[in-house]
Structure 1
Amino acid sequence: MRLARKIVMYLVFAGMLLSVYDEFANYMENGDDFKRDPKVLYEIYGELPIPDNTNEIEKKESIRERHSVSLDIYYCTRLSKEQIKRFYIMYLTDKGWKQIDKQDGNCMVLFKKDKWKIAVQDENEKYRVNIYKIYRY
C-alpha cells in the first residue's frame, strides 16, 4: 500500500513538473504576446475591408490565454465564391499578407503574416473570415 502511494505521489509530482515546463516553454517562445494580442486582433479586423453587396452578420471572439486568440466574422453576400476569393487575395497581398496554399474543404483562401493567419471560409449562403493566432513553442 505504501509503495502504491509513493508511485502515485511521484506521478503527480512529475505531472506538476511537466505542467510548469509547458508554461515556461510557452512563455519563452511567446513572451507576453497574449496580453496585447486581443488589441492586435481588433486592429487587423478594423483594417479589413468589406466587399460591395456584403453585410456583416455577427462576430464571435475566442480568447484562450496562452493558447490562442481568434475572431470569426460572418458575412452575408451576393458575390460568388470566386469574387470573394479574388477580393481578399487582391486586398490582403497588397497589405503584406502572404497567401498560403494549405486549405481544408471549406477554406477558400488562407493568408499568413508573422504569427497571424486569416482564413476566408465558405459557409452556406454566407462566408466567414477567421483572424487567429495560435501560440506554439
Structure 2
Amino acid sequence: MRLARKIVMYLVFIGMLLSVYDEFANYMENGDDFKRDPKVLYEIYGELPIPDNTNEIEKKESIRERYSVSLDIYYCTRLSKEQIKRFYIMYLTDKGWKQIDKQDGNCMVLFKKDKWKIAVQDENEKYRVNIYKIYRY
C-alpha cells in the first residue's frame, strides 16, 4: 500500500513538473503575445474589405489564453465560390499575405503572414473568413 502511494505521489509530481515546463516553454516561444493579439486580431479584421453584393451576418470571437485566438466572420453573398476566392487572393496577396495550401475540403483558400492565418471557408449559402493564431512552441 505504501509503495502504491509513493508511485502515485511520484506521478503527480512528474505531472506538475511537466505542466510547469509546458507553461515556461510556451512563454519563451510566444512571450506576452496573447495579451496584445486580440487587438491585432481586430486590426486585421478592420483592414479586410467586403466584396460587392456581400453582407456580414455575424462574427464569433474565441480567445483561449496561451493556446489560440480567432475570429470567425460569416458573410452572405450572391458571388460564386470562384469569385470569392479570386477577390481574397487579389486583395490579401497585395497586402503581404502568402497563399498556402488549403488544409481541408471546405477551405477555399488559406493565407499566412507571420504567425497569423486567414482561411476563407465555404458554408451552405454563405462563406466564413476565419482569422486566427495558434500558439505553439
TM over 0.5: yes
Gaps of 5+ in 2: none
Tell me the residue number matched to 2:57. 57
What do the CA deviations read for 1:96-121 (whole angstroms, capped 9, x no partner)? 00000133100000000000000000
Large movers: runs of 4+ above 2 Å: none
Q: What is the SS of the residue equivalent to 1:112?
A: strand
Distance in 1 between the 2:19 and 2:63 partners? 20
What do the CA deviations read for 1:45-98 (whole angstroms, capped 9, x no partner)? 000000000000000000000000000000000000000000000000000000
Output the TM-score relative to the length of structure 2.
0.99
Of all paired residues, the percent bearing the same amino acid is: 99
Distance in 2 between the 1:13 and 1:81 partners? 53
8 Å CA contact 2:74, 2:129 repeated in 1: yes
Q: What is the SS of the residue equivalent to 2:104?
A: coil
Residue 129 of structure 1, CA deviation = 0.1
What do the CA deviations read for 1:17-47 (whole angstroms, capped 9, x no partner)? 0000000000000000000000000000000
Larger deviation, residues 44-53 vs 101-110:
101-110
Alignment RMSD, CA only?
Answer: 0.4
Aligned length: 137
Output the TM-score relative to the length of structure 1.
0.99
Q: What is the SS of the residue equivalent to 1:17?
A: helix
